[in-house]
């Protein structure tokens, strides 16, 4: 083992051979490295620890060394090793080809559809990170990379909070660290364990990438950041007359000063971005001006209690805000089963006031004949199914912002429901099963296939046997 006196090409640290320096930042340097037992391209990140360096940079690196080895999945860089400060502090990561999202700043503003897809992928990545008990706290273009497969990779975890680890940044520094234009207002109150802070930052990014301007300007001072505790940004439609109402609804909801008014989870934000036609429009979508001065004064001198109350933990926040999908077979005359499904859905939603309900129906396509769009009475089958789903959900009395209906067209109903669950990060599927019949015992059932393959919790509901009719 070499000493930590000098890092240069050819130095060997714990079996890693130092190559060229690929980046020199204010807090750390990046080096290409190789290891005889690892075939993947690697980078070694080494903190700056010389005289005069910012102590926060060292603490930040400690956090990164603790957090990265605990992360997994396609949305985070794979960690291959860490070294302690007693000998040589470092983190070795997979080297992801390409550049960060920062390179796209010269292309702004992006087309709305491109920005929708892009930020939807980032929200998916954030949802995965939050499920691993981590709040990123430095979401910005230079923290986002893409795999060749198109999946987003989030990098730079030095300012992050892990729900199961000591928060050294919170314990040792009173001033919040982060990138000022993207910082959530509650950070000024010391709140670091609320994943909705990342959604605020993502809202800043979405605003910036669709308008070409940052919602709170370029101010880097704490005074400039503090203003967002009481001052909202100009609505995007003030800057661009053609700005879609559904997109402004999403952006301004992310940028709400009070975390409780934002999306409860990154998964629900990703769901909205994936289904813009089902975004429930409120007064946000039509706004052309900022809040009146009286509202600004009230916020400034009577700050909301939400900003002062940290959440219990990341996991509790996510658990209280799942996406629940109910699969309903509208083709069957099975009102008893429909009612049983409503009861089951109501029981799930009763204890989860922030949950979102997605009602699904699959229009089964024929493999051998041409499918007709209209039914025998000349009505559009897709529209009729949407109306029927809305009618099914009406007794649940859900706020419109918590309910969406989806009609899927597919040859294989089970596969369609499973694909919907995977794509939209559904947390719980509720579906019905009729009593056994000879055909189902021989061919299997949709409910059994979904229960066996679903990436989430599945509840299979059966009505009373006496009321069920076999087919």
Q: Where are the chain's structural domains?
A: 12-94, 101-165+175-318, 322-467
The pLDDT value given to residue 325 = 94
The pairing of beta strand 152-154 with beta strand 90-94: unpaired
What is the tens place of the pLDDT at every residue in 194-247?
Answer: 999 999 999 999 999 999 999 998 766 777 788 888 889 999 999 999 999 999
How much is the average pLDDT of 437-455? 70
pTM, two decimals, is 0.86
Q: How confident is the model at residue 178 (pLDDT cuts 50, 70, 90)?
A: confident
Cα–Cα distance measured from residue 178 to residue 167, given in angstroms and rounded to the nearest whole number: 15
User: At residue 421, does pLDDT exceed 50?
Assistant: yes
Q: How confident is the model at residue 51 (pLDDT cuts 50, 70, 90)?
A: low
Between 34 and 470, the higher pLDDT residue: 34
Q: What is the CATH topology of the domain spanning 101-165+175-318?
A: Transferase(Phosphotransferase); domain 1 (1.10.510)
For the ranges 2-11, 133-142, 313-322, the maximum mean pLDDT occurs at 133-142
The pLDDT value given to residue 98 = 87
Residue of 95, 117, 112 lying closest to 42 (CA atoms) = 95
User: At residue 470, does pLDDT exceed 60?
Assistant: no
The pLDDT value given to residue 174 = 59
User: At residue 440, does pLDDT exceed 60?
Assistant: no
The domain 322-467: what is its CATH number?
A: 3.40.50.620
Give yes or no on whether 101-165+175-318 and 322-467 have one common fold: no
DSSP, residue by residue, 263-328: -S-HHHHHHHHH-GGGPPP-GGGG--SPPPHHHHHHHHHS--GGGGS--S-HHHHHHTS-EEEEE-
Contact between 65 and 116 (Cβ < 8 Å): no
Mean pLDDT, the chain, as a whole number? 86
User: Phi-psi category of 425—alpha, beta or left, where left has phi over 0 and alpha has psi -120 to 50?
Assistant: left
Token couple for 72:
């997994």
Homologous superfamily of 12-94: Phosphorylase Kinase; domain 1 (3.30.200.20)
Between 237 and 167, the higher pLDDT residue: 237
- Percentage of the chain with pLDDT > 70? 87
Burial of residue 307 (CB within 10 Å: 0-12, 13-18, 19+) is buried
What is the tens place of the pLDDT at every residue in 378-391?
Answer: 667 788 888 989 99
For the ranges 290-304, 380-394, 457-471, the maximum mean pLDDT occurs at 380-394
How much is the average pLDDT of 288-292? 90
């Amino acid at each position: 083992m070499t000493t930590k006196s000098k890092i240069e090409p050819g130095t060997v640290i714990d079996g890693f051979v130092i190559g060229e320096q690929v980046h020199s930042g204010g807090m750390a340097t990046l080096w290409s490295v190789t290891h005889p037992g690892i075939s993947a391209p690697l980078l070694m990140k080494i903190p700056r620890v010389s005289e005069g360096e910012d102590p926060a940079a060292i603490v930040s690196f400690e956090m990164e060394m603790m957090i990265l080895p605990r992360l997994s999945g396609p949305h985070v860089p794979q960690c291959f090793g860490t070294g302690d400060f007693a000998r040589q502090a470092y983190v070795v990561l997979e080297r992801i080809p390409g550049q960060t999202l920062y390179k796209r700043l010269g292309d702004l503003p992006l087309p709305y559809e491109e920005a929708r897809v892009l930020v939807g992928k980032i929200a998916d990545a954030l949802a995965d990170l939050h499920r691993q008990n981590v709040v990123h706290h430095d979401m910005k273009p230079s923290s986002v990379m893409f795999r060749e497969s198109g999946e987003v990779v989030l990098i730079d975890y030095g300012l992050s909070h892990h729900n199961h680890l000591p928060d050294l940044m919170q314990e040792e520094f009173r001033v919040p660290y982060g990138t000022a234009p993207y910082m959530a207002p509650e950070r000024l109150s010391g709140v670091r364990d609320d994943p909705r802070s990342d959604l605020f930052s993502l809202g800043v990014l979405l605003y910036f990438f669709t308008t070409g301007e940052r919602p709170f300007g370029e101010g880097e001072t704490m005074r400039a950041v503090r203003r967002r505790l009481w001052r909202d940004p100009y609505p995007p439609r003030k800057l661009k007359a053609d700005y879609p109402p559904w997109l402004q609804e999403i952006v301004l909801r992310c940028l709400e000063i009070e975390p409780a008014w934002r999306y409860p989870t990154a998964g629900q934000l990703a769901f909205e971005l994936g289904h813009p036609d089902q975004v429930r429009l409120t007064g946000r979508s039509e706004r052309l001006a900022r809040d009146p001065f009286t509202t600004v004064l009230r916020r400034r001198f009577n700050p909301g209690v939400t900003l002062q109350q940290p959440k219990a933990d990341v996991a509790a926040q996510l658990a209280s805000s799942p996406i629940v999908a109910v699969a309903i077979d509208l083709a069957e005359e099975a009102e008893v089963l429909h009612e049983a499904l409503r009861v089951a859905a109501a029981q799930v939603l009763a204890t989860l006031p922030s949950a979102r309900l997605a009602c699904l129906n699959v229009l089964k396509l024929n493999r051998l004949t041409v499918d007709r769009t209209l039914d025998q009475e000349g009505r559009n089958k897709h529209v009729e199914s949407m109306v029927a789903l809305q009618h099914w959900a009406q007794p649940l009395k859900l706020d419109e912002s918590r309910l969406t209906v989806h009609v899927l067209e597919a040859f294989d109903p089970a596969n369609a429901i499973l694909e919907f669950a995977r794509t939209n990060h559904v947390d719980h599927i509720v579906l019905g099963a009729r009593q056994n019949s000879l055909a189902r015992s021989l061919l299997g059932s949709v409910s059994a296939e979904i229960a066996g393959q679903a990436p989430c919790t599945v509840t299979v509901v059966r009505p009373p046997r006496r009321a069920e009719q076999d087919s």
